[in-house]
Chain A
Amino acid sequence: MEILKQKLSSDFDGLNIHIPDDKRMIISIAKESILSLLSYLKNDGYEHLALISCNDWIDAGKLELIYILSAYMADDTHYQEKEKKSIIIKTKISRNTAKFITISNLFNSAEPYERELHEMFGIVFEGHPRLTPLMLEREYKIPPFRKDFDTQAYVDNTFGKIPSIQQQKEGLQ
C-alpha cells in the first residue's frame, strides 16, 4: 500500500490518500483527473471494478462519486497480497449541474451502475451508450435517492393519504 501511495503521489497532483488499514486505500481526487487515475490503476492490475456508488452531501451542495477497484489473481492458484486490497476512489461534482464523464469504455461493468446513478441521483454521464431508465417506472421531479426526496410526502401524494386507525374508527361511527 505504501509503495502504491508513493507511486501515485509522484505521478498525480492533488491527491489526498488515506490508508485506514493494510487492505483499504481511500483516494480523493479532483474530477478532471479521474479517468487518468482509473486507467493508470487498471493498467497496474486493479482491473475489477467492484462498485460505482454515490453520496449526496446535501449541506455542502455536492454529489460524491465513489469507484471501488480491486485486483484479480495474477496466479490462478496462489494468493498474493495484491488481491486483498480494495481501492476506494472519490471525487466530488456539483449537485445542481450533475454532469460527469462515463467510464464505460474503460470498464464494461460500469454501464449498469452509471445507468442506475443517472436514475437515482440524476447524474448525466456524458458519452454513455444508453442512458435509459433501468429500474424505475415513474418519472420523479427529484431523483429518489437524493437526500431532499421526501419518501413520506411522495407516498401520500401518489397513492393518497391512508387515514390512521383512529380516523378510520371515527369514520365508521
Chain B
Amino acid sequence: MRELELFFGPQHLGMVGNFSITLKVEGDRIVRADANPGFLHRGFEKLMELRTWMQNFPLVCRINVVEPDHMELVYSMGVEKLAGIEVPERGKFLRSIYCEMARVGSHLFGLWAYANMLGFDTVAHWAMYHRDLLLDLFEELTGARVYHIYLRPGGVRRDFPDGFTDRLVETLHKIGGKVPDYNATFFENSLFKKRAEGIGIVTREEAIRMGAVGHIIKATGMKYDIRKIEPYDAYNQVDFDIPVRTAGDAYSRLLAIRDDMIESVHLIFKLIDKMPKSGAVYTKTPNPFKWTIPKGETYVRCESSRGELGLYMVSDGGDKPYRVHFNTPSYNHGLTVLEKALVGESISDVGNIMISLYVVAPEIDR
C-alpha cells in the first residue's frame, strides 16, 4: 500500500497545545512519527541569563502553563541550594500543600483534556469546574488564578489567610465526593475502556531505555517518584503511597493519574494535620537588586504532576544566573517516547496516546 505523509497539528481538534507531529501512514496505520515542536519557543533559558535571580520568577512559571507551581518550586530549590538558604518548618509545609493543590489542579486539567478529546463532554465540564474551584483558592491565596508566583527562595511569599485550610478541605471534599461519578461515567465506562485499553503500550524495558519518568514508568509497576526517592520540603514527614499499575497502556496510565490525584487529596489532609500551627514562613533574603550568589553549579529535582522535573543551574558569582537548563518531563515524553509509542497505532488514536503520555507543549519549547 502507498505511504502518505500526514501533518497532525498544531491546529487539529485532537491536539492539545502548540505541537505538531508529522506522520507517515499506510492506510490507517502509522509507520513513522516525527515530533515537531517549537511553535511556542520563547527562549526563556536565554532570557533568564539576562535577568536577576528574583526577576526570573515571571518567566519560570510560564514554562509550564498547566502547572506553573512546580516550576517555581524547582527554581527556588536551585537558588536555595546555590545560596545556602534553609526554609523554615512551617514554610516547608505550606509549600508542600500548595504543590499538592497544584498537582490536583493539573490532573483535573489533564482529565478535562482527555475527556474533551474523546467526546466525553460531561466529564470534561465537571473536571474544568472542579479545577476552577481550586483556582478560586489560588486566587484567594496569591491574587492570581494561573501564574501564582507564590513560592520564593527561602519559603513562600505569605502565610495562609485565616480559615484558608478549612475552605481548602471543604473544596477537596467536594471534589472527592464526585469521584464515584467520574468512575461511573468515565474511568469505568466501557466506551472509554475500549478506546484506551491496549493502546500506546510502553513496556518497562522501553520506558527505561527511553528515559521515561512519572506515570509512564508508574504504569509499568515501578514506584519511581522523587517525593519518595529524594524527599524535599515536608514530604519526608508524612506517610503516603505511590499508586502504580502494571499494564503500561493508555488506560493504566490514566488510572495511575487518577489514583495519584486521590492520593494527593489525602496527602493534603495529612499535611494540614501535621503542619506547625505558627512560625515563620520564609527566610529573609537580601535585597533582590543587589543579591549576588556565590560561584557554583547545582542539579535539583522534584516531582511535578508529569514526572521528574530537574534544573541544572550555574552561577558565576554575579547577580544573574550564568546558565539555567530545565529538564522537563514532557521534553522526553513528547520527543522520544511519543515517536516510539505511535508506531503501529491508528490515526484516530494519536491524540488519545499523546494526552495519555501527558505531553504539555510549552514545557518542551521553553
Please tell me if B297 contacts chain A, counting CB pairs below 8 Å: yes
Which residues of chain B are near A53, meaning CB under 8 Å? 312, 323, 325
| Majority-rule SS of B interface residues | mixed
Which of A9-17, A29-37, A77-85, A164-172 touches B?
Answer: A77-85
A79 with B209: in contact, given A68-B299, A136-B38 (CB under 8 Å)? no
- Please measure, in the bound complex, the distance between the C-alpha atom of A55 and the C-alpha atom of B325, giving whole angstroms: 10
A108 with B41: in contact, given A55-B323, A68-B327 (CB under 8 Å)? no
Q: Mark A50-79, 1 if CB is under 8 A from B, else 0.
A: 110101100000000010100011001101
Please tell me if B198 contacts chain A, counting CB pairs below 8 Å: no
Among A20, A49, A51, A55, the one with the most B-chain Cβ atoms within 10 Å of its Cβ is A51
- Please measure, in the bound complex, the distance between the C-alpha atom of A109 and the C-alpha atom of B308, giving whole angstroms: 14
A72 with B208: in contact, given A79-B228, A83-B229 (CB under 8 Å)? yes
Q: Mark A126-159, 1 if CB is under 8 A from B, else 0.
A: 0000000011110000001100010100000000
Report the contact-size class of chain B (Cβ under 8 Å from the partner).
Answer: 35 or more
Please tell me if B46 contacts chain A, counting CB pairs below 8 Å: yes
Q: Is the CB of B299 within 8 A of A79?
A: no
A109 with B38: in contact, given A26-B297, A68-B299 (CB under 8 Å)? no
Q: Is the CB of A51 within 8 A of B312?
A: yes
**B residues 22-69 with Cβ under 8 Å of A?**
37-38, 41, 43, 45-47, 50
Q: Is the CB of B223 within 8 A of A76?
A: yes
A72 with B335: in contact, given A26-B297, A84-B230 (CB under 8 Å)? no
- Please measure, in the bound complex, the distance between the C-alpha atom of A72 and the C-alpha atom of B312, giving whole angstroms: 19
- Please measure, in the bound complex, the distance between the C-alpha atom of A107 and the C-alpha atom of B336, giving whole angstroms: 11
Q: How many A-B residue pairs have CB under 8 A?
A: 91
A51 with B223: in contact, given A79-B229, A112-B335 (CB under 8 Å)? no
- Please measure, in the bound complex, the distance between the C-alpha atom of A80 and the C-alpha atom of B129, giving whole angstroms: 40
Q: How far is the CB of B79 from chain A (nearest CB, A)?
A: 16
**Which of A48, A76, A83, A88 is in CB contact (< 8 Å) with B299?**
A88
- Please measure, in the bound complex, the distance between the C-alpha atom of A32 and the C-alpha atom of B224, giving whole angstroms: 33
Q: Is the CB of A86 within 8 A of B301?
A: yes
Please tell me if B314 contacts chain A, counting CB pairs below 8 Å: yes
Which residues of chain B are near A144, meaning CB under 8 Å? 43, 46
**Which of B221, B312, B336 is in CB contact (< 8 Å) with A68?**
B312
**Which of B50, B208, B229, B314 is in CB contact (< 8 Å) with A84?**
B229
Q: Is the CB of B222 within 8 A of A76?
A: yes
Q: Is the CB of A47 within 8 A of B299?
A: no
- Please measure, in the bound complex, the distance between the C-alpha atom of A144 and the C-alpha atom of B297, giving whole angstroms: 22
- Please measure, in the bound complex, the distance between the C-alpha atom of A66 and the C-alpha atom of B311, giving whole angstroms: 12
- Please measure, in the bound complex, the distance between the C-alpha atom of A53 and the C-alpha atom of B323, giving whole angstroms: 9
Please tell me if A24 contacts chain B, counting CB pairs below 8 Å: yes
Q: Is the CB of B323 within 8 A of A48?
A: no
Which residues of chain B are near A99, meaning CB under 8 Å? none
Which residues of chain A are near B365, meaning CB under 8 Å? 135
> 4 new A-B pairs (CB below 8 Å) besides A68-B310, A151-B46?
A66-B325, A108-B336, A109-B332, A111-B335
Residues of B near any A CB (own CB < 8 A): 37-38, 41, 43, 45-47, 50, 208-211, 213, 217, 221-224, 228-230, 244, 297-299, 301, 308, 310, 312, 314, 322-323, 325, 327, 331-332, 335-336, 365
Shortest Cβ-Cβ A-B pairs, 9 listed? A109-B211, A135-B38, A112-B335, A51-B327, A53-B325, A135-B41, A108-B210, A109-B336, A76-B222
